[in-house]
Chain A
């Protein structure tokens, strides 16, 4: 009879939390589903349990009982990330690993590498030790039925090998239903009938469950039927698209290097295309002779399989760099995404601007001057001028949006990235006014317009003025009260 194995990391979100906060381990700790007072406890450690806290209890109630309780939310993304890492680790023990719906539970095919370990127990113990060494609390079972193997893992600590299906059935039947990832309400309803363990539950005729307890109960019951056992659906190995080649003799000439990269890139694109994917970004690692490794990241505006485009971007980037040594080896990693079929644009509906060309142009600028070189201003609500916009890098050019205020005529202020301090003047009080460079005098000063705030972080107090000089220039100045100094913040057109 074919064997199955289950690896269980109980209370995985709590384990993740305690790894992040090791100094909490001696205190009562709970994981809640929301930071607010109504967030409910989803997982708790033994100390919290001892203090009479329970799963499902609201945070506000729990804090009433234990005012210094440690609580935190563990996001599903964090759990998924850990599960992904765990799957990767478990794949070293068996090529066939599947994650159960229940977080922290994995099914493994024990047959693959079992012989290497000299039997199921050794194999299972190796996994247990491996995880324990990495501070994961876990149990590992080898049995005959995927759900029952999980049930046995829930009820035990360490390693358990079922010798026969009957033994597995007997042991799994004792597992308390609440250990399974079943809705609390369902467990409670079953509990009222005295159905507390898996054995109690499976003794109920399957046909009576759907109408009384719903689809979840019925499906759970069915999952234990021998004839409905699903085969393992292993996680696919997530191998990055990668290619590398030696340069012999080491070479520094960019034309020759590009020619060599072109060949490698061709093969890489072939690989990626075969997987139904396209390239989102390229990571180029150049091993240099007697010099540190040189890295470059190249990102086209949109995922692509265009060899010439990628090569052009690499050419532009390398053209801007001077390598510190001859290249001995080249590695190219491709970050890929699933390829999207492009919609064919209807004739006559082409935009007047060629966005594709614009993207390509921006790609080239980025490839030449770096990823941060193309930015746009994002407006923000703030009183401080420099806080009222933010430069952020962009990947894609977009058609300009017609601003409602575009038609309103207003003075255009050209703002300095950093306000320029004006020469100090004695006395330093604002009444003395600013002093400008030689041959410039202020004829009119309009203001002040006061901006103060940020008291919660760093107090800012500025009196802004518009200054008209004898040369007809319009300046935008401010007197910084804490620093007692005048600054030029911009000029007006």
Chain B
């Protein structure tokens, strides 16, 4: 039996102080034979869950606590607090929340008197002042004098003083060392972390770092030796630990009850709402299979007591509806008929034959996971509503712990080691273009001597610090809600973002403790759809909702099948566009497959081509084993969705439900590929035993590995496919409203506003430039005059509305300028009146003049700039006096320059495409435009010049970079192999205008230009016009 329990232990979740993971500390305690170990992170319980999870596996007990910063007699003092009971733990969390609330992010200060009412905690006071104060409030039974011996010479007098006060107050001493790492080998890393925290370099660290390496987790014998003069104070650690009976397993979390109408139980009310919704969904005729499904789901929900959670989601969705905020549930929630009937999701799981157990099962008894997508511009309203409804103590956002990655590690560690910042910058830049690893070649390229001690230390320490927490951030939308205040489960602290509070645990911790999380996520596509619906209602009198958009529209599928999907949610990327003509979607389910197919999972699993071949009838649909037919029938024998892979694991590899669930969790733990690898040894042999060919088994496993990167469950793909269909329908039938809406919902999607405008123009939409007398802040629709309507035949031109670009696109205008312009009654007769009435500053006026917004006053852009530079001085004058000045007349811009100015001042041009000005020169050199390239044959060699609108190097493409080039007639997809890219790296990375010599590759109606060489066209235009969107 050990005589010692370490009671003052800080993990690396004491940010930039502790130098060992919580798991490492627990493992070390286990190896030393210690029965328990405390986790007392600085000002919080950040590392507690991770420690607890590992401790449960090893059979070590965790004593729960924290190191508090307490203000006593005007001075901040360290006190270690340990929770005796559940109540003590709740008190600890609450008081930490108070401490954080009054301090800036990352720090906490608790007032001494706030500890007075907390009686279920032990306090270890580290100073005589703290000891006196705590003794006065708690008496001697809960307070101990902390004596630490790290072999430092100034500890001795301090301990003497502590012992003297302890004797005077009859307080017992406890021998405890501060543990910052599990092994002495981590001492250098602890020094580094301390320096990073204080912003110092090692050579000047002084007392920022400790005098020696005695802050490790020591065996009991060493502590006994250190405290040989007072063995009782060591034994006391065990007594204290035994009295601290609280464990995280004791957390009895209850989801909040919703306010229920009188006479209703939670379950009864949920049932009422569900069937009410079902009648609406199915127009009063509820099919028997749906009814049966609903009954089954409600039964499971009642059994698991999850009714409150569904009611909360329903309430949030209702709130959104009332406020006219578009929202839609996604993820596995779309497998639930109850969610569908409550209006949380938009997919009918019964009709789609989706599996409810993927969402909720009695065996798993895990909290359900509903992700609610909300219009991105209005998500904050919903977040604040949740805070308001549940209160700040019952609702807080889940944290996202920012951890060291290779680049931040090199930068921070290198800085502390005193390496030249320019060399470190070079090293970190080089790292960006490589795998997330660290090698000597890279150091050499960065100009660092790989054999120099400092470089070797950099290498070693930066590797050690990888994945260490650096600071706390906010999860994109995860909320923790509680029936009891959340701050009794985990401390809440203010986030850096205004009006947000965040708990000290991240989503993995929340999952591990099976707490309920509500995910409120922002989605630009919903903002776009909402805006488009509003425009249709306002201008065309069409009142649409997502559910009422005409289904299975042939024209929409025709457009989609051509890969003509710029701006269409989820299927607009280059890869999706290339897939669409091959897949030729004709039904909604085809879109579901399309969305899920172009993902790392199916691509890495080599599932794409077999599926396409089978779909086209080029390959027979067969199944590796007869019992897999049921699972794979929907996707022609090829596993595409995450659920299928899980079912395969169960049916073909004999996974139990628990193992399959573990597989799902491991797939969800993004990029933690190590967790997925262990399934290979288990799964492949078992599949072989079942008689499944090895090649198929390996492919299934490759796909699982791919899902570890990012894969879709069927329900999730269906939710996204619905939005894809709606946006495609809008684009096909109301391109002007769609363009206007998507331009107003920016930033979102794959393409820049310039590309969206060009695409609309190519589809016959009239897009008019910014005009100060006609433009609103947002882009607007305007009726096209009658004579234009009667103009010749082009079908696209029969549209009734054009798009007027909004002032939001003028670079340099913000909220203030928006208010001023909107408050001014327009049209105005001249620039002077505009300047006087709006009172805009020179910068804003200059931006408007540069964008050509004053052409309505008969001023070309240069003359307008000249005038505003003078008039802006009189912006605050109330009298309409114009300054006397000589008006110089400047030449108008050439039309090519106008386009350049448009791009420079508003990132787009309605007046033309930058390539149009070059067309004659290019044509004379025999360089074709995009529309002609689409007519070229397979194997044709040619040169092409276009604007780079997108560069993409997917992780699944073995270093191939895909470029999308654009000209006034359309896009050309260019494939650049790694060796070609490396040969022209600078040009490939930077060129806005790119020349390509290559060969046409044509297959299934999809054309790619395979680059043999890249070159800079001999034209100066476009240098400043375009910025591509790059994805690596």
Contact = CB atoms under 8 A, between A and B. Distances in A.
Contacts of A67: 426, 429-430, 432-433, 445
Contacts of A211: 869-870, 873, 885
A450 B155 CA distance: 12
A264 interface: no
A36 B153 contact: no
Contacts of A189: 846, 869
B986 interface: yes
A448 interface: yes
A252 B430 CA distance: 68
A213 B866 CA distance: 10
A35 interface: yes
Q: Which 3 A-B pairs have the closest CB atoms?
A: A381-B206, A212-B869, A449-B153
Interface in A337-386: 380-383
Contacts of B430: 67-68
A378 to B, nearest CB: 13
A71 interface: yes
Interface in B678-715: none
A23 to B, nearest CB: 11
A456 B453 contact: yes
B929 interface: no
Contacts of A52: 986, 990-991
Nearest to B213: A452
A205 B870 CA distance: 14
A35 B424 CA distance: 10
Interface string A440-475: 000000001111110111000001100000000000
B211 A453 contact: yes
Contacts of A193: 862, 865-866, 890
Contacts of A46: none
B986 A65 contact: yes
Main secondary structure of the interface of B (DSSP, over half): helix
B188 A69 contact: no
B389 interface: no
B544 to A, nearest CB: 44
B870 A212 contact: yes
A155 interface: no
Q: Which of B212, B862, B873, B991 has the most CB of A within 10 A?
A: B212
Contacts of A449: 151-153
Given A193-B866, A450-B211, A69 B990 contact: no
Given A63-B429, A67-B433, A204-B888, A452 B989 contact: no
Interface string B613-656: 00000000000000000000000000000000000000000000
B207 to A, nearest CB: 5
Contacts of A404: none
10 contacts: A52-B990, A72-B422, A189-B846, A192-B850, A211-B873, A213-B869, A380-B206, A383-B207, A383-B209, A449-B152
Contact of B989 (A64, A205, A207, A380): A64
B385 interface: no
Contacts of A448: 151
Interface in A129-167: none
Interface in B964-1009: 986, 989-991
Contacts of A37: 425
Contact of B417 (A63, A208, A212, A456): A456
Contacts of B191: 453, 455
Contacts of A205: 886, 888
Given A455-B187, A456-B188, A456-B457, 10 more contacts: A36-B425, A59-B422, A65-B990, A208-B870, A381-B207, A449-B153, A452-B211, A452-B213, A453-B191, A456-B453
Interface of A: 35-37, 51-52, 59-60, 63-69, 71-72, 189, 192-194, 204-205, 207-208, 211-213, 380-383, 448-453, 455-457, 463-464
Contact of B426 (A51, A63, A192, A380): A63
Classify chain B's interface size. 35 or more
B445 A194 contact: no
A36 to B, nearest CB: 6
Nearest to A35: B421
Contacts of B417: 456
B209 A453 contact: yes
A208 B432 contact: no
Contacts of B207: 381-383
Contacts of B865: 192-193
Nearest to A455: B188
B55 to A, nearest CB: 31
A451 B211 contact: yes
A192 B848 CA distance: 13
A453 B191 CA distance: 9
A36 B870 contact: no
B519 interface: no
B153 A464 contact: yes
B72 interface: no
B425 A456 contact: no
B214 interface: yes
B212 A453 contact: yes
A456 B888 contact: no
Contacts of B870: 208, 211-212
Nearest to B206: A381
A32 B457 CA distance: 28
B603 interface: no
Nearest to B430: A67
A430 to B, nearest CB: 13
B425 A60 contact: yes
Nearest to A71: B422
Given A60-B425, A63-B425, A450-B212, A456 B202 contact: yes
Contacts of A63: 425-426, 429
Nearest to B850: A192
Given A51-B986, A193-B865, A452-B211, A64 B432 contact: yes
Contacts of A455: 187-188, 191
Contacts of B429: 60, 63-64, 67
Given A63-B429, A64-B432, A212 B886 contact: no
B888 to A, nearest CB: 7
Nearest to A72: B422
A386 to B, nearest CB: 14
Interface string B713-736: 000000000000000000000000
Nearest to B418: A456
Nearest to B211: A383
A451 B421 contact: no
A68 B869 contact: no
Contact of B212 (A66, A69, A380, A452): A452
B885 A208 contact: yes
Contacts of B420: 35
B936 interface: no
